[in-house]
Copies of this chain bind each other. A is one copy, B any other.
Amino acid sequence: MRPVLPGATLGILGGGQLGRMLALEARRLGYRVAVLDPMRDSPAGQVADERIIASFDDVGAALRLARNADVVTYEFENVDVRVVEAIERMGKIVRPGSRVLKLTQNRLLEKSFLRGKGVPVTPFHKVDSREDLDDARRQVGLPAVLKTASGGYDGKGQAVVHTERAARAAFHRLGRRNLIWERFVPLKAELSVIAARTWDGKFREYPIAENVHRDNILWTTVAPARIPASTAREAVRMARKAADGLDLVGVFCLELFWGRDGRLLANELAPRPHNSGHYTLDACRTSQFEQQLRAVCGLPLGSTAPLGAAAMVNILGNGGGPRLTGIEDALSKTDAALHLYGKAQTRPGRKMGHLTAVAGTPAEALKTALRARRLLTWR
């Protein structure tokens, strides 16, 4: 396949921070960028050459984006599949394509697919009725997490349930159909594998990330994860199996549970750069965003070698006010790198930016990043 070279235009469906960081890396390499997003002033739109303001199910707008782009990608997986299919039908390459998008938009399809490819997943059961709910409880058991099969993110649309009664309440609250019952797994840690795969099957992974969530939103990542080498190898094998199985082209994230029993189970796959890979911007030879650009454009993958141990801490809105204060302190008292996404509005839990620290050990890096974060306050 002929690569899409610098000077060409990358079309991005979605204008969030992932699109922004991808666009900034694309700019560094001399690409043009076009972004489709419903927001007039989206984080990625701000740094694009061309902005198309339209909803994610507007096929006409997506085709306009595609006409001006040499290759198209999406930066989040709630883009309407029909939109991606329409772009593909006009003969434009979308990476990863509509098939990957369709599978990863639905937890049931995704988990079944992964299991079919030999990637261990948490025990699960579809829930479309009261009967399914009872079957799920009997066959998969409690405690469990009941989730909408599609559409949820950052913990929205899910409930941890410990009792039959709680399960029924969650079942009603979540809409009674199109749900998935997943066994709740006692964990040593949550991990993720950020990796990239090219159109001709080449594969490169980054150091495994170890994640801590707060209220279901990623709070901190350290890399490399503090796990045995054999566990790290197994995590990469699982990621590769999943990507090969999907014939996925691009950067993706496989989120894994590392159970108390030492086993790894796949939780979900995001077919795009991921919050838990932000550390690569400051701490690896090639960032996940440059890697995504390379994979999507058919260029050879870059080195994923780390420059040190890394930690990332998200800067989330917390209802404390619209203005981030303490930046001078954070920048003078630590050597953490600051990334802000250009979002004018803050709200509790919204990802407004992140901090990265690089150090000799993950713990040291995390200490620095957390120290920097504590110096920042929304006022």
Residues of A within 8 A of B (CB): 3, 5-7, 20, 24, 27-30, 32, 46-47, 49, 285-286, 294, 299-300, 302-303, 305, 307-308, 323-324, 327-328, 331-332, 335, 337-342, 344, 353, 358
B residues less than 8 Å from A342 (CB atoms): 7, 27, 30, 32
Q: In the docked arrangement, what's the CA distance between A328 and B305, Å?
A: 19
B residues less than 8 Å from A294 (CB atoms): 331
CB distance from A39 to the nearest CB of B (A): 15
13 residue pairs of the A-B complex, CB under 8 angstroms, read: A5-B327, A6-B340, A7-B323, A7-B340, A24-B27, A28-B340, A30-B342, A46-B49, A294-B331, A299-B327, A299-B328, A299-B331, A300-B328
Q: In the docked arrangement, what's the CA distance between A20 and B340, Å?
A: 18
Closest 10 CB pairs of A and B: A30-B340, A300-B332, A303-B335, A6-B340, A300-B331, A307-B307, A30-B342, A27-B47, A28-B339, A24-B24
Residue of B nearest to A333 (CB): B300
Number of copies of chain A assembled together: 2
B residues less than 8 Å from A338 (CB atoms): 6, 29
Q: In the docked arrangement, what's the CA distance between A303 and B307, Å?
A: 16
Q: In the docked arrangement, what's the CA distance between A328 and B299, Å?
A: 6
B residues less than 8 Å from A308 (CB atoms): 307
CB distance from A24 to the nearest CB of B (A): 6
Q: In the docked arrangement, what's the CA distance between A337 and B344, Å?
A: 32
Query: When the two chains form their complex, are residues B3 and A27 in contact, meaning their CB atoms are under 8 A apart?
Result: no
Q: In the docked arrangement, what's the CA distance between A300 and B28, Å?
A: 25
Q: Given A6-B340, A300-B328, list of 15 further CB < 8 A pairs?
A: A5-B327, A7-B323, A7-B342, A24-B24, A24-B27, A27-B46, A27-B342, A29-B339, A32-B46, A285-B335, A294-B331, A299-B328, A300-B331, A305-B335, A307-B308
Query: When the two chains form their complex, are residues B29 and A340 in contact, meaning their CB atoms are under 8 A apart?
Result: yes
Residue of B nearest to A49 (CB): B46
Residue of B nearest to A300 (CB): B332
B residues less than 8 Å from A299 (CB atoms): 327-328, 331
Query: When the two chains form their complex, are residues A324 and B285 in contact, meaning their CB atoms are under 8 A apart?
Result: no
B residues less than 8 Å from A32 (CB atoms): 46, 342
Query: When the two chains form their complex, are residues A341 and B30 in contact, meaning their CB atoms are under 8 A apart?
Result: yes
Residue of B nearest to A27 (CB): B47
B residues less than 8 Å from A28 (CB atoms): 24, 339-340
Query: When the two chains form their complex, are residues B328 and A6 in contact, meaning their CB atoms are under 8 A apart?
Result: no
Query: When the two chains form their complex, are residues A327 and B6 in contact, meaning their CB atoms are under 8 A apart?
Result: yes
Q: In the docked arrangement, what's the CA distance between A324 and B353, Å?
A: 35
B residues less than 8 Å from A339 (CB atoms): 28-30
CB distance from A106 to the nearest CB of B (A): 34
Residue of B nearest to A30 (CB): B340
Q: In the docked arrangement, what's the CA distance between A5 and B358, Å?
A: 24
CB distance from A365 to the nearest CB of B (A): 13
Q: In the docked arrangement, what's the CA distance between A27 and B341, Å?
A: 8
Query: When the two chains form their complex, are residues A353 and B30 in contact, meaning their CB atoms are under 8 A apart?
Result: yes
CB distance from A31 to the nearest CB of B (A): 8
B residues less than 8 Å from A285 (CB atoms): 335, 337, 358
CB distance from A288 to the nearest CB of B (A): 15
B residues less than 8 Å from A49 (CB atoms): 46
Q: In the docked arrangement, what's the CA distance between A367 and B5, Å?
A: 25
B residues less than 8 Å from A331 (CB atoms): 294, 299-300, 302
Q: In the docked arrangement, what's the CA distance between A312 and B303, Å?
A: 18
Q: In the docked arrangement, what's the CA distance between A313 and B219, Å?
A: 39
Query: When the two chains form their complex, are residues B6 and A324 in contact, meaning their CB atoms are under 8 A apart?
Result: yes
B residues less than 8 Å from A286 (CB atoms): 335, 337
